[in-house]
């Protein structure tokens, strides 16, 4: 887990939000075991929810995430164009990585923060995959 390319600035922000009383939920999209390992390593999340949104339409994704976290009003941290539909249903958006994806967010949704891409080598991901799966 130590070799996973976590974004330090995002983790600091999440720690500050949790310290301020915000409830943090890690929403797993399928692979709950990996999500549990990451959550245990970071010791940051109050809960792990499984939304299993792969292949679902945007409205169903948003509903599934809302049900998983038991809230209809939520802030959402996402990292790609695929997250646009959920950002647009959230109260506030937090963009991680693909800053261009954030430009697709509905102008009525507040973009609370942006954490730009970091460059990571393929070997970093391969080493981490071996660590998680093995």
pLDDT at position 73 is 77
The CA distance from 116 to 119, in Å, is: 10
Q: What is the bridge-based pairing of β-strands 75-78 and 47-50?
A: unpaired
The CA distance from 119 to 5, in Å, is: 9
Partners of residue 25 on adjacent β-strands: 47
Q: What is the bridge-based pairing of β-strands 110-116 and 47-50?
A: unpaired
Return averaged pLDDT per consecutive 10 residues of the chain, 134 residues in all. 76 94 82 86 87 57 64 81 83 89 90 80 53 52
Q: Are 114 and 102 in contact (CB under 8 A)?
A: yes
Token digits of residue 104: 């697709």
Q: Are 59 and 51 in contact (CB under 8 A)?
A: no
CATH numbers and ranges of domains, the chain: 8-133 (3.40.50.1000)
């Amino acid at each position: 887990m130590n070799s996973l390319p976590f974004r330090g600035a995002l983790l600091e922000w999440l720690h500050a939000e949790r310290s301020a009383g915000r409830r943090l939920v890690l929403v797993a999209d399928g692979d709950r075991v990996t999500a549990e390992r990451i959550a245990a390593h970071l010791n940051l999340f109050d809960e792990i929810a499984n939304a299993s949104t792969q292949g679902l339409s945007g409205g169903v994704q948003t509903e599934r995430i809302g049900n998983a976290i038991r809230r209809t009003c939520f802030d959402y941290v996402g990292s790609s164009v695929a997250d646009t539909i959920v950002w647009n249903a959230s109260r506030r958006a937090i963009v991680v990585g693909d800053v261009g994806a954030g430009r697709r967010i509905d102008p009525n949704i507040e973009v609370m923060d942006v954490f730009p891409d970091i460059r990571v080598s393929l070997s970093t991901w391969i080493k981490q995959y071996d660590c998680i799966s093995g």
